Amino acid sequence: MPDPTPTDRALQALSDSIGGARTRRPEDATDPDVPVAATVVLLRDGRDGLEVLMIERPDRGSFAGAWVFPGGKLEDADRGADHEPEQDVARRAGVRETHEETGLALDTDALVTLSCWDPPPGLALRIRTWFFVTPADAGALTLSADEAVDAEWLRPADALARHGRGGFTLYPPTWVTLHGLAEHADAESVLGAVRLRGVQRFETVARRGGEGPLLLWQGDEEWEADAGGAASGSRHRLEIGALPWRYQRTE
């Protein structure tokens, strides 16, 4: 039997983790004991449309072999005044991490908050992550060998297609973010939509469905375990039991 690929390992880790998940509580989304991270979606207008910068993690650690946006955990040096909003600390962390991993210098004020992702409660490893978007400044990439083994500017739809074929490892927040970006023609379209819509919050619930693991978010009729009443048919979920993944969201 061939050795499992990074994508195989990621799918298995996601599936195994669901067994430890529990029902969400209101305080889970702001639990101070959960580590916090920031990630930055760098945008540019390529010859064939919108492109994003993605880096490939080394084949070790929590996201071994995965393709991600630059980012990492908040550090003490990122903090300013006492009781500063977590989002503001995360914005500085995103700038720092992007520079450390890619060599690109960003303007903190140019980062627009896209979303905040809170993993399913009850998992052994939980990291609450803030996602930011910003246009990419011109400059050569200088990858940190400890953090990235490769980097590519990709159209979001192309990244999703490669993942669907099994040769490109993505984790759910990255996948869903790419899915949302794929509908935009250029960076200005993305930034305008994000400013109009505001910050999206993804407070994740993990379940097992008939075809494998499901990740649910607010707006899905099954997001609340004890939700009663007639079925509404509303959906906000990602089916990750097999490739290609399937995202459903009814507005």
Q: Which residue has the higher pLDDT, 24 or 124?
A: 24
| pLDDT over threshold 60, residue 82 | yes
The pLDDT of residue 81: 78
For CA atoms 45, 89, 18, 60, the dihedral sign is: positive
Q: 128-135 and 236-239: which strand pairing?
A: unpaired
What is the mean predicted confidence (pLDDT) over 31-49?
94
Task: Quote the DSSP letter at residue 76.
Answer: G
Q: Diameter of the chain by CA atoms? A: 56
Q: For residue 123, what pLDDT band results from cuts at 50, 70 and 90? A: confident
Structure letter (DSSP) for residue 136: P
How much is the pTM?
0.91
Determine what percent of the chain is predicted with pLDDT higher than 90.
67
Name 69's bridge partners.
Answer: none
pLDDT at 94 over 90: yes
Task: Give me the chain's average pLDDT, please.
Answer: 89
Write b or e for each residue in 42-73: b if 16 or more Cβ atoms lie within 10 A of its Cβ, otherwise e.
bbeeeeeebbbbbbbbeeeeebebbbbbbbbe
Average pLDDT over residues 75-83: 87
* Alpha-carbon distances of 174 from 23, 27, 63, 71, rounded to whole Å: 23, 24, 12, 12
47 vs 31: which has the higher pLDDT = 47
* 3-class secondary structure, 35: coil
Establish whether the linkage from the previous residue to 119 is cis, with ω within 30° of 0: no
Segment 193-218 shows an average pLDDT of 92
User: Which of 9-13, 66-70, 206-210, 213-217: highest mean pLDDT?
Assistant: 66-70
Terminal-residue alpha carbon distance, the chain: 44
What is the reported pLDDT for 125?
77
Token pair for residue 116? 């905040």
| Mean pLDDT, rounded, for 143-171 | 95
User: So what's the pLDDT on residue 151?
Assistant: 97
Rounded CA-CA distance 197/40 in Å is: 18
pLDDT score at 131: 98
Rounded CA gap, 169 and 43, in Å? 20
